[in-house]
């Protein structure tokens, strides 16, 4: 990996890994639904401008927009809201680690739907190890464990990403320019999220919340797409996948340093176990040469989740 790639990868890991910090800060003045709407709208605005500048047009086919609406629901509107809901009771660092379980959920869903028939022991072992790490982090057997409705919301968000990536890999690959497709998807996600605004109550804005949601939307949701896209184009999907392993480390570190969140041995070990499990499921995947180009495109289109594309390089 070149020095430029290292800098880009580090910057992307910092931007995506810090999303959980910005969510935590934005929640000081915004309800989860309000945060989600603003985040999607700002991300969409950034990508709409960039798509226009690069000459990419929004899709015109109604069927493509239908697929985008489904992808927007499961890749943006639902998980963004669930992460915000979950972080009302769970630390931002833990949220970043749970986000890393997306490939595990992809594997479970792929097995359940018959889309993935690779049942080699190393993959099943990685799956079991990864979820064992989640159990270790939440420690439901302890009175002071972290298991709560917020924890379930975080797990639901990670599973939602997995559903979205599987769907996008089947229905949106090659449907248009990546920036235009992602801009359209975030536009649809804004509309989905806005439907829930009447349930959110009044906002209690403060400077911290405003700055946090702007950074989250413009940089954490919009600009990161471009950076991830450049890494994939210049260095390949493998380099982009590295971000997936750095993101939870960044989120835990920022949570501890900036927010003073407790950094316990259980959380650190649980994070290591989760990432080891994910690595086992990824290393065991053998790609056929003809799959690589499709995987490459799928990665580019799956970048709007916190680390979405970084984790699921081949759309699994």
Dump pLDDT digits (tens) for 15-47: 999 999 999 999 999 999 999 999 999 999 999
The domain total for the chain is: 1
> What is the average per-residue pLDDT within 177-192?
94
CA distance 89 to 87: 5
DSSP conformational letter for 175:
S
315 domain-assigned: no
220 is a domain residue: yes
User: Rounded to 5 degrees, what angle do the CA atoms 196, 89, 186 make?
Assistant: 35
Is 17 among the domain residues?
Answer: yes
Q: For position 262, what pLDDT does the model report?
A: 92
Residue found under tokens 């690589």: 292
**Position 264 pLDDT exceeds 80:** yes
Q: In terms of C-beta density within 10 A (0-12 exposed, 13-18 middle, 19 or more buried), how is residue 241 classed?
A: buried
Query: Does the residue 316 lie in any domain?
Result: no
pLDDT number for residue 89? 92
Give the DSSP per-residue string, 52-115: HHTTPPPP--HHHHHHHHHHHIIIIIHHHHHHHHHTTTS-HHHHHHHHTTHHHHHHHHHHHHTS
118 lies in some domain:
yes
In sequence order, what are the residues at sequence separation of 6 or more whose Cβ sits closer than 8 angstroms to the Cβ of residue 88? 27, 32, 150
What distance in Å separates the CA atoms of residue 103 and residue 149, rounded to the nearest whole number? 22
Mean pLDDT of the chain: 85
- Domain assignment present for 278: yes
Please report whether residue 82 resides in a domain: yes
3-state secondary structure of 202: coil
Considering the domain boundaries, does residue 56 fall inside one? Answer: yes
Q: pTM to 2 decimals?
A: 0.87
* Residue 133 CA: distances (Å) to CA of 23, 275, 276, 278, 282: 24, 8, 9, 10, 16
- Alpha carbon 159 to its chain centroid, in Å, reads 10
Per-residue pLDDT, averaged over 74-99, amounts to 96
Residue 274, domain extent: 3-307
Radius of gyration, alpha carbons of the chain: 18
| Ranges assigned E (strand) in 184-315 | none
User: Within a 10 A sphere around the Cβ of 300, how many other Cβ atoms?
Assistant: 22
Tokens of 46: 């950034």
- Structure confidence at residue 147 as a pLDDT band (50, 70, 90): low
Calpha distance 73→75 (Å, rounded): 6
Residue 256 clears pLDDT 80, i.e. is over it: yes
């Amino acid at each position: 990996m070149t020095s430029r790639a290292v800098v880009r990868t580090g910057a992307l890991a910092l931007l995506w890994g810090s999303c959980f910090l910005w969510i935590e800060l934005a929640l000081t003045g915004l309800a989860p639904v309000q945060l989600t709407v603003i985040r999607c709208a700002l991300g969409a605005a950034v990508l709409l401008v960039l798509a226009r500048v690069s000459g990419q047009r929004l899709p015109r086919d109604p069927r493509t927009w239908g697929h985008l609406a489904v992808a927007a629901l499961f890749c943006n509107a639902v998980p963004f809201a669930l992460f915000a809901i979950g972080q009302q009771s769970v630390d931002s660092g833990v949220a970043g680690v749970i986000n890393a379980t997306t490939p595990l959920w992809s594997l479970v869903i792929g097995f359940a739907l018959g889309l993935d028939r690779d049942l080699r022991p190393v993959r099943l072992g990685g799956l079991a190890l990864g979820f064992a790490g989640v159990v270790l982090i939440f420690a439901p057997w302890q009175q002071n464990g972290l298991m709560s409705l917020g924890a379930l919301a975080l797990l639901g968000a990670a599973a939602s990403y997995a559903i979205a990536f599987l769907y996008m890999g089947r229905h949106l690959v090659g449907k248009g320019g990546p920036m235009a497709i992602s801009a359209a998807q975030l536009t649809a996600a804004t509309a989905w999220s806005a439907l829930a605004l009447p349930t959110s109550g009044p906002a209690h804005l403060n400077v911290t919340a405003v700055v946090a949601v702007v950074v989250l939307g413009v940089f954490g949701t919009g600009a990161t797409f471009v950076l991830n896209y450049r890494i994939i184009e210049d260095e390949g999907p493998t380099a982009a996948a590295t971000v997936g392993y750095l993101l939870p480390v960044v989120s835990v570190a920022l949570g501890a340093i900036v927010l003073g969140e407790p950094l316990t041995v259980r959380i650190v070990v649980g994070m290591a176990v989760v990432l080891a499990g994910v690595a086992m499921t990824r290393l065991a995947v053998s790609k056929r040469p003809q799959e690589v180009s499709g995987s490459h495109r799928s990665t580019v289109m799956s970048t709007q989740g916190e680390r979405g594309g970084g984790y699921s390089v081949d759309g699994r």
